[in-house]
Structure 1
């Protein structure tokens, strides 16, 4: 058993700031009080302990209160991605068998559900008392998040209380915890990178400075203010922050301790520029099935171990499954999911206790993990393996390239060949890029076609969706 997390935190540090949003702040005592009141109101609308409740909402203080209130009620939270289509959302609602759907606005979607409630509607009713549990079972399901669905239909991943607690504990043992910690959250709360920040907040007694969405200018302003000590993002967001600092000729203060960067390796160009601006980049690797981080690379190793996602956190184990040094990354630990819901419920994610991630990588002789790519994104050309991330990183090294995406297209001779989609920050020709890449990567890895585009397809957490790249040509 674990204690009721918010209740325990509110009793330990009631006056410490839990949440900051816009001009408002909430202490842990206030957050607990408002979450409990909203839970009572949910209860009066028929939401009972143990029910599965779907939530579709933008990141806001109100959403934080709603998430905590549902946890206080003992509900399982199905966190829906705002950027999905109505068809995709309807599938997840049906697949998860959510008994209620909570939305921050009826105007946002025309989703149909027999028990659809808006936040405002719930706030307008009188609350009804319920049995507030002071202890929670470790195996209780807290959240259900759907994978991005790179192959087939997305799967609803069950994340238990133990998964979240052990993930947060492993991160704390790696990063350390200080009373003045304040994490800037600009990633969506419906994504594991965002929700894990809320879990770390109640476990550490850490302030969350919440933004509805990522804005590089505003993020830089927050960090320069000297209060924010950490932030989570992906490489493309990091580059935008660096660009703002370079434009203003500014550097981050020493009060800022950790820039966790996930979603793939950070290009050398970004790392070198980050160091110049005093940005402590910690590359990390995790996924929905692991309730956030599994490995993290310290900032002092960022250049020496370029491209590495670091070593496993304290409670995690990582191995490579394959006859060669390069193979599928497998993960074991108490932070790993034990299963799915809905159509995938019968699928066991573990094989002899190990999660087979579908990601390809290797571990070097010092124990550092290198993630090469998704197995599903792998391009096999004439029997040779081409990892799109490697080609993308080579392209980003060119000073005119802001971002790049690489995928494979069918070819009668080679089976598949790579093609590149490039976002520029200054003019450059296709021939100039081709000449540059000849000095960077082998000839068989060279893209046969280049497409210059305004932007690349990304999901809600700003990760590149390579499976969507071909649509840029078709459309």
Structure 2
């Protein structure tokens, strides 16, 4: 059993700031009070312990209250990605079969669901007493989050209280916990990278500076103010901040400890530029099935092991499955999910206790993990393996290239060949890029076609969606 996290935190540090948003802030005592009030109003509406509640909302303080309120009531939370289409959301609702759907605003979506309330409707309800659990079972499902569906239909991943707590504990043992810690949260709360920050906040007693969405200028302003000590990001977010900093010849202050970058390999070009701007970048590797981080590069290794996602956190274990040095990354530990819901419920995610991730990587002689690519994105051309991330990293070394995505297309002669999709920040020609790439990579890795696009397709957490790259041609 674990203590009721929010009640325990509010009793330990009631006056410490839990959430900042724009010019407002809420202490842990105030957050606990508002969450309990919302839980009692949910109870009035017929929502009870053990029910499954789907939630569709932007990231804001009200959502934080709603999430904590549902947890106080003992509900399972289905975290819906508000960037999905109505068809995609309808699938996840049908698959997860929630008892109720809560939305921040009815006017945003026309989703047909019988038992649906807006946050406002709940707020207007009367409060009714219920017995709050002072202890929570570590096996209870706290959240259900859907995978990005890179190899088919998205799967609803169960994340238990133990998964979240052990993930937060492993991160704390790696990064340390300090009294002035403040995490800038620009990642969506419906995603594990955002929700895990929320869990760390109550577990550590840490302040969150919350932003509804990522904006490079706004993020930099927060960090330069000296109040923020850490943030989570993906590679494209790091690049956008670097571009702003370089244009203004600014660097991050010494008060900022690190940006934790996950969601895929980070181009070495970005890492080198970050060093010049005093940005400690700690690459990390994790997924929905592991409740966030599994490995993270320690700060003292940031330069020596540039490009690595680090070593496994204290309670995690990683091995490579395959006969060669490079193979599928497999993970074991108390932060790993025990299963799925809906159509995937009968699938056991573990094989002899190990989660097979579908990601390709290797461990070096010192046990540091290097993530190469998704197995599903691998391009096999004439019997040779081509990793899109390697080609993308070569492309972004070109001074005119802002972002790059690479995908394979069918070819009668070679089976598959790589194709490049490029977002430019300065003028460049296809001929110039071809000449540049000839010096970077072997002939068989060279993109056969180049498409210049305005933007690359990304999911709610800004991860590149390679499977949708060809659709980006139609949208330019």
Q: Considering the TM-score relative to the shorter chain, is it more than 0.5?
A: yes
Query: Which residue of 2 is the match for residue 183 of structure 1?
Result: 183
Query: Which residue of 1 is the match for residue 405 of structure 2?
Result: 405
Q: TM-score, normalised by structure 2?
A: 0.99
Query: Which residue of 1 is the match for residue 394 of structure 2?
Result: 394
Matches within 5 A, 1:132-143: 132-143=132-143
**1:300 offset after TM fit, Å?**
4.0
Give CA deviations for 1:85-140 in whole Å, capped at 9, x if unaligned.
Answer: 11110111111010000000001111111110000000001111111000000000
Give CA deviations for 1:301-339 in whole Å, capped at 9, x if unaligned.
Answer: 334323211110110000000011111100000000000
Preserved contact between residue 455 and residue 472 of structure 2 (Cα < 8 Å): no
Preserved contact between residue 271 and residue 302 of structure 1 (Cα < 8 Å): no
Worse-matched range after superposition: 140-149 or 425-434: 425-434
Query: Which residue of 1 is the match for residue 59 of structure 2?
Result: 59
Query: Which residue of 2 is the match for residue 301 of structure 1?
Result: 301
Preserved contact between residue 269 and residue 393 of structure 2 (Cα < 8 Å): no
Worse-matched range after superposition: 102-111 or 305-314: 305-314
Preserved contact between residue 394 and residue 440 of structure 1 (Cα < 8 Å): yes
C-alpha distance in structure 2 between counterparts of 1:248 and 1:275, whole Å: 16
Preserved contact between residue 234 and residue 261 of structure 1 (Cα < 8 Å): yes
**1:180 offset after TM fit, Å?**
1.0
1:168 and 2:168 aligned: yes
C-alpha distance in structure 2 between counterparts of 1:414 and 1:207, whole Å: 53
C-alpha distance in structure 2 between counterparts of 1:185 and 1:248, whole Å: 24
Counterpart secondary structure, 2:112: coil
Counterpart secondary structure, 2:274: helix
Worse-matched range after superposition: 40-49 or 247-256: 247-256
Preserved contact between residue 271 and residue 303 of structure 1 (Cα < 8 Å): no
C-alpha distance in structure 1 between counterparts of 2:247 and 2:226, whole Å: 20
Preserved contact between residue 457 and residue 465 of structure 2 (Cα < 8 Å): yes
Give me the CA root mean square deviation: 0.8
Counterpart secondary structure, 2:184: strand
**1:474 offset after TM fit, Å?**
4.9
Give the gaps of 5 or more residues in structure 2.
Answer: none
Matches within 5 A, 1:123-138: 123-138=123-138
1:194 and 2:194 aligned: yes
Query: Which residue of 1 is the match for residue 110 of structure 2?
Result: 110
Preserved contact between residue 59 and residue 213 of structure 2 (Cα < 8 Å): yes
Counterpart secondary structure, 2:309: strand
C-alpha distance in structure 2 between counterparts of 1:282 and 1:371, whole Å: 14
Worse-matched range after superposition: 51-60 or 265-274: 265-274
**1:469 offset after TM fit, Å?**
0.4
Counterpart secondary structure, 2:166: helix
**1:267 offset after TM fit, Å?**
1.5
Counterpart secondary structure, 2:295: strand
Give CA deviations for 1:236-262 in whole Å, capped at 9, x if unaligned.
Answer: 100111111111111111111110000
Counterpart secondary structure, 1:91: helix
Give the gaps of 5 or more residues in structure 1.
Answer: none
Using a 3 Å threshold, how does the CA distance of structure 1 residues 302 and 440 change in structure 2: closer, same or farther? farther
C-alpha distance in structure 2 between counterparts of 1:280 and 1:360, whole Å: 25
Preserved contact between residue 281 and residue 298 of structure 1 (Cα < 8 Å): no
Give CA deviations for 1:15-68 in whole Å, capped at 9, x if unaligned.
Answer: 000001111110000000000000000000011001000000000000000000
C-alpha distance in structure 2 between counterparts of 1:140 and 1:90, whole Å: 25
Counterpart secondary structure, 1:309: coil
C-alpha distance in structure 2 between counterparts of 1:418 and 1:390, whole Å: 11
Moved over 3 A (4+): none
Query: Which residue of 1 is the match for residue 254 of structure 2?
Result: 254
1:350 and 2:350 aligned: yes
Query: Which residue of 1 is the match for residue 98 of structure 2?
Result: 98
Query: Which residue of 2 is the match for residue 469 of structure 1?
Result: 469
Query: Which residue of 2 is the match for residue 288 of structure 1?
Result: 288
C-alpha distance in structure 1 between counterparts of 2:50 and 2:255, whole Å: 42
Give CA deviations for 1:200-235 in whole Å, capped at 9, x if unaligned.
Answer: 000000001000000000000000000000000001
Worse-matched range after superposition: 248-257 or 136-145: 248-257
Query: Which residue of 1 is the match for residue 316 of structure 2?
Result: 316
Q: TM-score, normalised by structure 1?
A: 0.99
